[in-house]
Amino acid sequence: MSHEADALTVKTCLGVYAALVCLTAITVGAAFIDMSFLNTPVALGIASVKALLVMYFFMELRHSNRLTWVLMGSSGVFLLIMIMLTMSDMLSRGWLGYPGK
């Protein structure tokens, strides 16, 4: 491997790290601003960007094959299914006005 490619990789790592630290600072700052119901979506949005940066660069998803991408995506899909089905039950309880609902 050439020295140029080598230096570039370290540079990429440092760049991603700088972005992650900046996003952490932004998410802490944003937490102190009252955005009513938007605070949690904003915090989770920033966390998701950080997660994607870590996965894409540090976990080498950019050099991984499609099967790995599908697997990684499936974890998100199954997590969403678990949370959405559970919440659809939790939130709709009491909608029907008889005991045992």
Residue among 4, 33, 98, 100 that touches other proteins (CB under 8 A): 33
Q: Does 26 participate in binding other proteins (rule CB under 8 A)?
A: no
Q: How far is the CB of 100 from other proteins (least distance, A)?
A: 19
Which DSSP letter does residue 99 get? T
Q: Does 86 participate in binding other proteins (rule CB under 8 A)?
A: yes
Q: Which residues contact 33 (CB under 8 A, 6 or more apart)?
A: 39
Which amino acid, residue 97? G
Q: Does 79 participate in binding other proteins (rule CB under 8 A)?
A: yes
Encoding tokens for residue 74? 């499936």
Long-range contacts of 81-84 (CB under 8 A, 24+ apart): none
Separation CA 95–CA 101 (nearest Å): 8
Residues binding other proteins (CB under 8 A):
1, 6, 9-10, 13-14, 16-17, 20-21, 24, 27-28, 31-35, 39-40, 43-44, 46-47, 50-51, 54-55, 57-60, 64-65, 67-68, 71-72, 74-76, 78-79, 82-83, 86-87, 90-91
